[in-house]
Amino acid sequence: MEKKLIRRRRLKNALFQGALISIIVFSILILLLLLYQVFKVGLSHLSLSFITSMPSRFAARAGIASALAGSIWTISLTILFAIPLGVGTALYLEEYANKKSWFTKILEINIANLAGVPAIVYGMLGLAVFVRFLNFQRSILSGALTLALLILPVIIVASQEALKSVPSTLKEGSYALGVSKWQTITGVVLPYSLPGILTGSILAVSRAMGEAAPLIMIGAAGYIGFMPKSPLDSFTVLPIQIFNWTSRPQAEFQDIAATGIIVLLVLLLTMNAIAIVLRNKYQNRMD
Amino acid sequence: MKIICNNINFYYGSNHALTDLNLNIEENKITALIGPSGCGKSTFIRTLNRMYEHIPKTKITGEIFLDGENILTDSYDLAELRKKVGLVFQKPNPFPKSIYENVIYGPKKHGLKNKDALDTLVEKSLRKAALWSEVKDKLNKSALELSGGQQQRLCIARCLAVEPEVLLMDEPTSALDPQGTLKIEELFHTLKEYYSIVVVTHSMQQAARVSDQTAFFLNGEIIETGTTDDIFTNPKDQRTNDYITGRFS
Amino acid sequence: MKRKLKKREFLIEKLLILFAGITIVTTLAIVLTLFGETFQFFKEVPILDFLTGKTWAPTLVPKSFGVLPLLVGTLMIAVFSSIISLPLGLGSAIYLSEYAKTRTRKIIKPILELLAGIPSIVYGFFALTFITPLIRQILPQTQVFNVASASIAVGIMTLPMVASLCEDAMMAVPNSVRNGAYALGSTKMEVALKIIIPSTKSSIASAFVLAISRAIGETMIVAIAAGQSPVLTFNPLESIQTMTGFMVNMSLGEISQGTLEYKTVFAVGTMLFFMTLIMNLIARGILYRNRERY
């Protein structure tokens, strides 16, 4: 009787484990299917001329040059704005702020809430503040500022985690030599936490690179026939170009949308891979 | 006298950690602070370079004179104080940088940029810390590759590189094996020619071996001070006697 | 020299406070811009018509501003995507924290992170060109743009978030808690269901709420795969329009400031902002109230 019960419990456990494994297999399968679908549809159009050509009314001649340039411009500026602001805020919160003051508490609650605000709402903020109020128009600058605010909370939180991991004995070692706070931050704290900060920042930036919604809100164009030359030029980015092609009824445009996705994914995967390598190196050192 | 402490009281929040301490530190002598753990030795040593300022809600009253100047006043520059009064920690805490960079960290932050001067300083500091011969061929290797004892001597060299006058050591050998401990203890004798040293130790044998003066701490108070010989052979206070004969610890 | 150094330290601290303050300014700016335009909107459209009207036709004549079709569309996406993301995310978390060996975990976690890192535009493409044809093969009456396909894609996209939030909480349960149960002869399943899930239930609940909030704010997948027809329906095989879908659709054309269209976008955006804000506050409230202590 008891043996039977144990056997039943073991069987249940095995079934449960089987169910969980199928969930994992399902996730992996989806990822593979997604990549397969994109490559099956898009790979045949991938060529050098696709990357160097402007978009066109004819799918066969269309390329992503202006969108790729727009993405690179926008992301570079986003990095320029978001990383100093994010790391600076994290430094303030971890190294300077009095953890118990109401100002710090409000800051932290506010940052947590900002992290949950949908991307498209940042687009509305960008439209009202950068495009209209500051009159930057529908420019790369407006787009980069919008994306910077969008990923700021992610960078702050990741940097805070990295800063928390710096052993206090190292900071004390520096202070004991008569070295000032900021010098200790640049001399010990930042070098130690840099891999963690970089990992978080790269992941955040790659998220910004895949965003279309906020940039559509600020009025980034769907069609740009020239290469952007300054931050005040109008622009489009890869995700918007892909969206534009996907939403056309003709099948040829959906094919080149997939080709565009391949380019976007290669860029993102490269960034992600760098982040993962950095983190592994970092974790090994911590062990 | 190198340092004179008058009526030091120290508080962590509402916790009265040190009560009415008076202690003189002689120049070019080694002063050992002994006493059971939690008696305030480490807290006290950190008042001598104002390390407590990095801990929130601490308060200190009294006077500490270094060469006749009160270091507890706001006008006494913290960087100057810590350059003059170096601190070596319980656990070796080298920076995750090369041996060379560890030694020049302090001087560089204080504005020394000349490469030759830095090189000379590195050799001089490492020699004084009795580490030069062991590391001179691998100055660019990570400090974390050194043994525990070598790391601690590197931390001492790092301290010496800013050219202090007083060295505070907070149980500098408690994390080391006997060999590492021996090396550091030998080092004490050469270092006291140049520096006034205050060492916190949990080992009475160590205090007896290395120090000239000893102060016995109990519950945040100094029970007895005197020459090391007197304290260990002829203690005046019953509690000192109990402690050094191992009746409580 | 010393004075200069002190001054620099002081200025740096002030600069960092200023940086931190930008996050507050951002929130204020979001609230102010949304409120401003929305206030203007309600001067022209009665708030009751907006909240209870069943017809959404802001650009047609006669105009109609009943937001219910958009709201129902959005909620359908949220509900149907949860059917995928919540159980699968929770299941993945249990597997990773209770069953998987360290090495397996090291392989699976990056895969989940990759899933999380794929842009929503790619999921949108996948939904339209793969999931939708698949559904239409099984249920031919399905429309080209439909709720089901978009929901599945949104569910897959939010799955990794649920998994990682739940897993973090489960990994934080100390082994001593598990070992007590194993010592009594419990199977892994019994430990997972009777000990791990109950002791992390607030983290799980909070992860679920956050996932639903993410689904509500998701834009590109629904803009591509769910359609642009604001009809009030509960049929997941039909085309709808979500709040975010409407906002994107309006922005694709030129809308100039001051027009009713412009204000309409902000009114819908305000509603979206508040829905997600409330859910995020709920999620954090749950965590804060029942912080797991060991």
- The answer as to whether C281 is a domain residue is yes
User: What CA–CA distance (Å, rounded) separates A250 from B48?
Assistant: 79
- The answer as to whether C15 is a domain residue is no
A204–chain C Cβ distance below 8 A for any pair: no
- The answer as to whether C48 is a domain residue is no
- The answer as to whether C29 is a domain residue is no
CB spacing of A12 vs C13 below 8 angstroms: no
Does A287 have pLDDT greater than 60? no
User: What CA–CA distance (Å, rounded) separates C231 from C245?
Assistant: 13
Chains with at least 3 CB pairs less than 8 angstroms from chain A: B, C
Does B240 have pLDDT greater than 60? yes
**C279 in Cβ contact with C209 (< 8 Å):** yes
Structure tokens at C119: 């842009």
A259 sits in the region (left: phi over 0; alpha: psi -120 to 50; else beta) called alpha
**What is the reported pLDDT for A276?**
77
Exposed/middle/buried for residue C200 (C-beta within 10 Å: 0-12, 13-18, 19+): buried
B159–chain A Cβ distance below 8 A for any pair: yes
User: What CA–CA distance (Å, rounded) separates C25 from B24?
Assistant: 55
**What is the reported pLDDT for A3?**
82
User: What CA–CA distance (Å, rounded) separates A107 from C18?
Assistant: 12
Q: Which of A177, A194, A282, A287 to mutate to test the interface with B (most CBs of B within 10 A)?
A: A177
Q: How far is B208 from chain A (nearest CA, A)?
A: 27
Does B74 have pLDDT greater than 60? yes
Does B5 have pLDDT greater than 70? yes
The CA distances from residue C92 to A19, A227, A229, B186, C38, in Å, are 10, 45, 47, 59, 41
The CA distances from residue A154 to B191, C73, C155, in Å, are 50, 29, 22
**A42 in Cβ contact with A256 (< 8 Å):** yes
Structure tokens at C78: 């949220």
Structure tokens at C244: 């975010």
CB spacing of C2 vs B111 below 8 angstroms: no
B83–chain A Cβ distance below 8 A for any pair: yes
Residues in B touching A285 (Cβ below 8 Å): 96
Nearest CA in chain C to A246: C125
- The answer as to whether C206 is a domain residue is yes
Residue with tokens 């000032």: A180
Identify residue C227 by its one-letter amino acid code. Answer: G
For residue C62, cis peptide bond before it (omega within 30 degrees of 0):
yes
ipTM of the complex: 0.92
Q: First vs last Cα of chain A: how many Å apart? A: 49
| Per-residue pLDDT reduced to its tens digit, B110-147 | 989 999 999 999 999 999 999 999 999 999 999 999 99
- Across the interface, of C20, C128, C218, the residue whose CB is closest to A107 is C20
Among A68, A55, A74, A63, smallest CA distance to A222 is for A55
Mean pLDDT of chain C: 91
CATH number of the domain at C167, please: 1.10.3720.10
Residues from B in contact with C at Cβ < 8 Å: 77, 79-80, 111
Residues in A touching C20 (Cβ below 8 Å): 88-89, 92-93, 97, 107
Q: How far is A170 from chain C (nearest CA, A)?
A: 20
**B103 in Cβ contact with B162 (< 8 Å):** no
User: What CA–CA distance (Å, rounded) separates A51 from A65?
Assistant: 5
Does C109 have pLDDT greater than 50? yes
Residues in C touching A88 (Cβ below 8 Å): 15-16, 19-20
Nearest CA in chain C to B111: C1
- The answer as to whether C49 is a domain residue is no
| Per-residue pLDDT reduced to its tens digit, B145-194 | 999 999 999 999 999 999 999 999 999 998 888 888 998 999 998 999 99
The mean pLDDT of A243-250, rounded to a whole number, is: 89
CB spacing of B79 vs C1 below 8 angstroms: no
Does A278 have pLDDT greater than 80? no
Chains with at least 3 CB pairs less than 8 angstroms from chain C: A, B
The CA distances from residue A61 to A44, A210, A227, in Å, are 14, 24, 17
Most confident of the following: A211-225, A273-287, B150-164, C278-292: B150-164
Beta bridge partners of B119: none
| Helical packing angle, C260-289 and C68-94, nearest 10° | 30
Half-sphere exposure for B28 (CA within 13 Å, toward CB): 3
**B66 in Cβ contact with B86 (< 8 Å):** no
Does A73 have pLDDT greater than 90? yes
User: What CA–CA distance (Å, rounded) separates C145 from C138?
Assistant: 15
User: What CA–CA distance (Å, rounded) separates C29 from C213?
Assistant: 21
User: What CA–CA distance (Å, rounded) separates A102 from B68?
Assistant: 42
Structural domains in chain C (count): 1
CB spacing of C29 vs A30 below 8 angstroms: no
The mean pLDDT of B56-66, rounded to a whole number, is: 92
User: What CA–CA distance (Å, rounded) separates A69 from A66?
Assistant: 5
Structure tokens at A59: 């799918």
Does A100 have pLDDT greater than 90? no
**What is the reported pLDDT for A235?**
87
Q: Tell me how crowded residue B32 is: count the other CB atoms within 10 A of its CB.
A: 26
Q: How far is C53 from chain A (nearest CA, A)?
A: 24
Q: Give B232's contacts (C-beta < 8 A, 6+ positions apart).
A: B204, B207, B208, B214, B244
Residues 149-178 of A with CB under 8 A from C: 149, 152-153, 156
B106–chain A Cβ distance below 8 A for any pair: yes
**B183 in Cβ contact with B172 (< 8 Å):** no
The mean pLDDT of B225-246, rounded to a whole number, is: 90
- The answer as to whether C36 is a domain residue is no
A264–chain C Cβ distance below 8 A for any pair: yes
CB spacing of B89 vs A172 below 8 angstroms: yes
**A233 in Cβ contact with A258 (< 8 Å):** no
User: What CA–CA distance (Å, rounded) separates A263 from A69?
Assistant: 12
The CA distances from residue B124 to B97, B100, B130, B147, in Å, are 19, 12, 10, 21
Does A131 have pLDDT greater than 60? yes
Residues in A touching B95 (Cβ below 8 Å): 170, 173-174, 187-188
A9–chain C Cβ distance below 8 A for any pair: yes
**What is the reported pLDDT for C143?**
92
pLDDT band at residue C62, thresholds of 50, 70 and 90? confident
DSSP line for chain B: --EEEEEEEEEETTEEEEEEEEEEE-TT-EEEEE-STTSSHHHHHTTTTTGGGGSTTEEEEEEEEETTEETTSTTS-HHHHHHHEEEE-SS----SSBHHHHHHHHHHHTT---HHHHHHHHHHHHHHTT-HHHHTT-TTSBGGGS-HHHHHHHHHHHHHTT--SEEEEESTTTTS-HHHHHHHHHHHHHHTTT-EEEEE-S-HHHHHHH-SEEEEEETTEEEEEEEHHHHHHS-SSHHHHHHHTTS--
Residues in C touching A180 (Cβ below 8 Å): 5, 9
Nearest CA in chain C to B109: C5
| Helical packing angle, C2-44 and A119-126, nearest 10° | 90
User: What CA–CA distance (Å, rounded) separates C66 from C53?
Assistant: 3
Burial pattern C74-93, b for ≥16 Cβ within 10 A else e, equals bbbbbebbbebbbebbbbbb
User: What CA–CA distance (Å, rounded) separates B77 from B71?
Assistant: 8
Half-sphere exposure for B170 (CA within 13 Å, toward CB): 26
Structure tokens at C49: 């018509």
Helix, strand, coil percentages (3-state) for chain A, rounded to 5, are 80, 0, 20
**What is the reported pLDDT for C291?**
66
pLDDT band at residue C132, thresholds of 50, 70 and 90? very high
Among B152, B167, B2, smallest CA distance to B83 is for B167
A281–chain B Cβ distance below 8 A for any pair: no
Which is it for strands C56-57 and C64-65: parallel, antiparallel or unpaired? antiparallel
pLDDT band at residue C43, thresholds of 50, 70 and 90? very high
Mean pLDDT of chain A: 90
Among B24, B30, B96, B18, smallest CA distance to B65 is for B24
Q: How far is B113 from chain A (nearest CA, A)?
A: 15
* Diameter of chain A measured on Cα atoms: 81
Nearest CA in chain B to A286: B96
Q: How far is B158 from chain C (nearest CA, A)?
A: 22
User: What CA–CA distance (Å, rounded) separates C121 from A265?
Assistant: 11
Domain that holds residue C88: 57-289
- The answer as to whether C20 is a domain residue is no
Q: Which of A7, A12, A30 to mutate to test the interface with C (most CBs of C within 10 A)?
A: A30
Q: What is the dihedral of CA C170, C174, C178, C180, to 10 degrees?
A: -160
**What is the reported pLDDT for A286?**
46
Q: How far is C44 from chain A (nearest CA, A)?
A: 20
Q: Tell me how crowded residue C273 is: count the other CB atoms within 10 A of its CB.
A: 23
The CA distances from residue A214 to A115, A126, A149, C117, C219, in Å, are 15, 8, 11, 17, 9
B109–chain A Cβ distance below 8 A for any pair: yes
A179–chain B Cβ distance below 8 A for any pair: yes
CB spacing of C121 vs A34 below 8 angstroms: no
The mean pLDDT of C253-280, rounded to a whole number, is: 91
What backbone torsions phi and psi does residue C255 show, to the nearest 5 degrees?
-120, 130
Structure tokens at C20: 């931190």
Beta bridge partners of B3: B25, B66
Q: How far is A160 from chain C (nearest CA, A)?
A: 12
B88 sits in the region (left: phi over 0; alpha: psi -120 to 50; else beta) called beta
Residues 4-33 of C with CB under 8 A from B: 5
| Per-residue pLDDT reduced to its tens digit, C223-260 | 999 999 999 999 999 999 999 999 999 988 877 778 88
Among A117, A96, A121, smallest CA distance to C19 is for A96
**What is the reported pLDDT for C87?**
96
Chains with at least 3 CB pairs less than 8 angstroms from chain B: A, C
pLDDT band at residue A40, thresholds of 50, 70 and 90? very high
Q: How far is A187 from chain C (nearest CA, A)?
A: 14
Domains and CATH numbers, chain B: 3-244 (3.40.50.300)
CB spacing of C2 vs B77 below 8 angstroms: yes
CB spacing of B79 vs C5 below 8 angstroms: yes
pLDDT band at residue C292, thresholds of 50, 70 and 90? low
Collapsed DSSP state (helix, strand, coil) of residue A224 = coil
**What is the reported pLDDT for A274?**
84
Q: Which of C4, C5, C7 to mutate to test the interface with B (most CBs of B within 10 A)?
A: C5
User: What CA–CA distance (Å, rounded) separates C277 from A116?
Assistant: 7
